[in-house]
Amino acid sequence: MGQHLRGVQTLENEEENDLTDQDADAAASEAAAAEAASLEAGRLLFAANWGFLRSCLAISHLPPAGPPEVAFAGRSNVGKSTLLNALVGQKGLAKASNTPGRTRALNLFQREDGTGPLVVDMPGYGYAKAPKTEVAAWTSLVFDYLRGRPGLKRVYLLIDARHGLKPIDDTAMDAMDEAAVSYHVVLTKADKALPAGLVAETEAKLARRAAAFPGVLVTSAAKGTGMDKLRAAIADLTL
């Protein structure tokens, strides 16, 4: 009798394990399908031609609130223009310069067919061969944009993978935390260097931040690494 009961119990446990495995396989398949759909949406979003819309030196120069917006911020030499060009697959869209700090306005880009989000290239911080009054004006412009743009869905904060987060990046994150603006850290130039433990270390720091989106995107504009995931993240957020 006891052996019979043990046999029945063993059979029931095996059936439960089979169901658990099937559930896990089904969940994994659904997750893989969802990721594939997200990557394809991102590819399609940026497969079209993109164009320069306008350059804004003041909040009043911005177009009326309309489509969702995503902004790109970072230190002046972080490779922002290069990454934006890689994002859209057009080498000359965002004007890269050998002189850090050249971007002194909010530069807006949009698909030429008018669909999809606005992409905003924000002035770089931390380096500027300009009078202090001009630097103060750029800083005020950025903060006004962060606080007062209702269509802003997220700021992608670019961090050079060779150096990681610096105190000036902490200052930028403080401003976004205070303004309750969601931001997602993107490591750039990962083809040149990606120190061991940098991703985990960065994610641990972000976990203590009020407005930081969890996780870190690792990219290389030169190699194309991670660009598909960045496109997918923007598509998920704005479409």
| ∠ CA 185-150-226, rounded to 5° | 25
User: 22-68, pLDDT tens digit by residue?
Assistant: 777 777 788 888 999 999 999 999 999 999 999 998 889 999 988 99
pLDDT at 94: 86
98 exposed, middle or buried (CB, 10 Å; 0-12, 13-18, 19+)? Answer: exposed
Distance CA 128, CA 140 (A): 15
User: 191-228, pLDDT tens digit by residue?
Assistant: 998 888 999 999 999 999 999 999 999 999 999 999 99
pLDDT at 201: 96
Distance CA 238, CA 111 (A): 13
pLDDT at 91: 87
Q: Is the pLDDT of residue 151 over 70?
A: yes
Banded model confidence at residue 188, pLDDT cuts 50, 70, 90:
very high
42 to 8, 114, 158, 235: CA distances (angstroms): 51, 16, 19, 5
Tell me, yes or no, if the pTM score tops 0.75.
Answer: yes
pLDDT at 2: 54
Banded model confidence at residue 129, pLDDT cuts 50, 70, 90:
low
| Structural fold of domain 48-238 | Rossmann fold (3.40.50)
Q: Is the pLDDT of residue 104 over 80?
A: no
Spatial neighbors of 135 by CB under 8 A, at least 6 apart, are 128
Banded model confidence at residue 153, pLDDT cuts 50, 70, 90:
very high
pLDDT at 3: 58
> Regarding predicted confidence, which is higher, 118 or 146?
118
